[in-house]
Structure 1
């Protein structure tokens, strides 16, 4: 029978390619052993590595091989946990693979030292050029295609994770059919306006001058774990800077359509949202928002998740209403943290 490694360490944020690697490994095991392996999936937030090792040491009555995945490998730092794992790896079960998984790009140095050098693999987030190539290839394999502008908008809206890219592309393929062409209107309808609450819908409520609705969007994002402060602020900075660039072009008497073309703002509905933003805020007000967001970004990076909801709600208020008496830096924030 093919010999498989006792342990593998899969790291990195690219969950799609990581899952593909796990699926391929599972397939090789099934082919080599004559049937699907017995599978176990653990999270180190719920069980200890000792519990996992106990399961590994107990053979299976129903399958020739066992496939054990453990998520949260970045938490394996305690001396006792590392010792437990080291004892197991000194004499691992011959009928099992242990796959340690983490979204981080590095595990504890002591953990990595326990593992064979070739057992560690990092799945990095796709670069922009890789993202474009992956989407084009995936959609083409399904028999569909993208208009150039539609592809640009799709790449702008969807995260650089192949799980997300695949899921959103599948929606469009189902709509246009396997021989269809995806247009910019399709992307607007099925990606931009059908998505759950996000940075775009949050800022739209700011533009609408509806503070209560903006807080509802924020609450929805928080409840769905989609309001990690740092990427949320980064998304808002990107969006407001584009709006500021548009406002500057309009102030310089560039026609709206020409300004949108120059900035790559595509789609009639998205352009309508940008027009509403430039109608609502002056250039100086948008500059104030950018400075404000940069200040909040620094605060979140320094203080982490503490007070995140309070600060995010305050940020939304300050984006809508000038409030020079509220600051996020210095002694005012320090007094809240204390």
Structure 2
């Protein structure tokens, strides 16, 4: 007699948003078919005790349910021996259990993969860059909102790659706008995104740009330090947003140098090949100040500095980040992006580099 294939699924890969959605579809279908469904979550790590109780769950020994749904998240450091109860069950499955195994890795034990039906295996990679704008537009369309290209680009600049991060950010923005009694938001604009960031985070990349535009080094340092205290692991997002703003400033500066009047130049701003007109009054004022302070060549040099800054943040340990940020803020605001010897203030005395 041939044994039935186990009701088991193996979902791998770093794209947690789509992966979690696939898990939810299975769970919801089972909950609809089995109102008293038993649900279990286990996380397999290098400690064999991390999945204590899994063997009992796999036998569906509950007194009040005829079916069990088990979600087992497999950490990268999990040993094959830790998964032995699952391997044993997959060889002799019971008919009243469904198990979904997930991992952020793209490969797991060959023994495990061999036991899960091939048609139930899927690897979820990060969403391709060219799919993300359409994903954002579809999300806001589902909320009965449009979204401008500039706002879409700004969200993509500020948010991490994974779909779950993107979904969370878009949901929070949509909720914020739906509660804003000052206006009805039929289409999300860059100004809406900036207003939400100011409301939700207090200190943002836009706060830093304000000090850069005005040449205020002390204000920039205080703002960057506050951001690091609040978001210690998100400096790359801060730098990406600053780079986006400097590219927008470069476009404005080049428009003015080509003879456009101020209003025309601001309406014709382009970033990454897409129109991102400057409309907000405060934004207009800051960009006016910045374009008087920095020439097109200065801005190009600052963009190189921002790329260097991002590289060093990713390369050096966290306890050096504040010193690195101080040095690059000085290089951008005082030296207008040009490399220099280290400025003489206390937080930089320990740095043994001259590339700043």
Instruction: Give the TM-score normalised by the residue count of structure 1.
Output: 0.74
Task: Give the match for residue 277 of structure 1.
Answer: 290
Taking the aligned partners of 1:113 and 1:233, their CA distance within structure 2 comes to 44
Task: Give the match for residue 9 of structure 1.
Answer: 11
Q: How does 1:33-44 map to 2 (within 5 A)?
A: 33-40=34-41, 42=43
- RMSD of the alignment, in Å? 3.7
Task: Give the match for residue 73 of structure 2.
Answer: 70
Task: Give the match for residue 127 of structure 1.
Answer: 129
Do residues 145 (structure 1) and 145 (structure 2) align?
Answer: yes
Do residues 324 (structure 1) and 324 (structure 2) align?
Answer: no
Shift of 1:151: 1.9
Shift of 1:155: 0.6
Question: Cα 1:273–1:135, aligned 2, differ >3 Å: closer, same or farther?
Answer: same
Shift of 1:8: 2.3
Task: Give the match for residue 172 of structure 1.
Answer: 177
Ranges in structure 1 where 5+ consecutive residues have no aligned partner: none
1:148-203 Cα deviation digits (max 9, x unpaired): xx5223212223622322331233244479x9623648725743543423322222
Taking the aligned partners of 1:41 and 1:198, their CA distance within structure 2 comes to 37
Shift of 1:315: 1.8
Question: Cα 1:202–1:97, aligned 2, differ >3 Å: closer, same or farther?
Answer: farther
Do residues 85 (structure 1) and 98 (structure 2) align?
Answer: no
Task: Give the match for residue 273 of structure 2.
Answer: none
Taking the aligned partners of 1:229 and 1:183, their CA distance within structure 2 comes to 26
Contact 1:68 1:99 in 2 (8 A): yes
Question: Cα 1:91–1:311, aligned 2, differ >3 Å: closer, same or farther?
Answer: same
User: Comparing 58-67 with 268-277, which one deviates more in the overlay?
Assistant: 58-67
Q: How does 1:105-124 map to 2 (within 5 A)?
A: 106-107=105-106, 109-111=107-109, 114-115=112-113, 116=116, 117=118, 118-124=120-126
Taking the aligned partners of 1:258 and 1:303, their CA distance within structure 2 comes to 43
Task: Give the match for residue 286 of structure 1.
Answer: 299
Shift of 1:41: 5.8
Do residues 308 (structure 1) and 321 (structure 2) align?
Answer: yes
Taking the aligned partners of 1:28 and 1:56, their CA distance within structure 2 comes to 22
Instruction: Give the TM-score normalised by the residue count of structure 2.
Output: 0.71
Taking the aligned partners of 1:17 and 1:186, their CA distance within structure 2 comes to 29
- How many residues are treated as equivalent by the alignment? 312
Task: Give the match for residue 58 of structure 1.
Answer: 56
SS at match of 1:9: strand
